[in-house]
């Protein structure tokens, strides 16, 4: 029976090779280029469609926008949200979410569960509440009055402060 499988395996490998559906890489997989996201178009669209002010922060030129999304946050103080993610110069991921949802709902939505206040940051004239815990990424949240801004990801405190400064000085986009 095993002798009859050999021609089948050879035929399968031949078909896969012809179809270019397999490859051999002895060093293992390597990281490819990060996806790109048109942050200008995405945030302009969100500014037209969502019922709260959308800001577009001026991030460092070496940062690369790689993702964007819109979500609906449920709960008593739920609302809409707009998220943009960046790959920083150091190769870390930093995202910022803008939402008209309440702070508790926003944190719970992004974190996937409850988080606890572990500190605070003063960036410019804005107070940022830091949510964290053992083994979880930090989340920074600031209330801009008609919108809450949340910063998260694997970035450093300095990278969080960079985007917090940029968001704090950005004017809302006109719809």
Can you name the residues that pair with 151 across neighbouring β-strands?
96, 140
CB 155 within 8 A of CB 94: yes
| Mean pLDDT, residues 124-149 | 93
DSSP state of 119: E
Percent of the chain at pLDDT > 70 equals 95
Give the confidence band of 63 by pLDDT, cuts at 50, 70, 90. Answer: very high
- At residue 21, does pLDDT exceed 80? no
- Measure the CA–CA gap between 7 and 5, rounded to whole angstroms: 6
For the chain, the average pLDDT equals: 90
- pTM of the full structure: 0.81
Domains and CATH numbers, the chain: 39-169 (3.30.200.100)
CA 75/CA 85 separation, integer angstroms: 24
Secondary structure class of 122 (helix, strand, coil):
strand
């Amino acid at each position: 029976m095993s002798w009859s499988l050999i021609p089948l395996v050879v035929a399968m490998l031949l078909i896969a090779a012809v179809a270019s559906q397999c490859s051999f890489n002895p060093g293992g997989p390597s990281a490819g280029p990060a996806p790109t996201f048109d942050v200008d178009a995405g945030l302009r669209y969100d500014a037209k469609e969502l019922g709260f002010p959308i800001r577009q922060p001026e991030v460092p030129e070496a940062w690369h926008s790689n993702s964007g999304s819109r979500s609906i946050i449920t709960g008593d103080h739920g609302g809409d949200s707009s998220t943009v993610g960046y790959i920083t110069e150091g190769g870390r991921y930093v995202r910022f979410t803008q939402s008209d949802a309440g702070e508790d709902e926003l944190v719970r939505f992004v974190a996937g569960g409850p988080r606890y206040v572990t500190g605070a940051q003063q960036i410019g004239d804005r107070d940022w509440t830091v949510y964290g815990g053992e083994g979880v990424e930090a989340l920074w949240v600031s209330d801009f009055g008609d919108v809450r801004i949340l910063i998260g990801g694997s970035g450093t405190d300095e990278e969080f402060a960079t985007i917090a400064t940029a968001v704090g000085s950005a004017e809302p986009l006109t719809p």
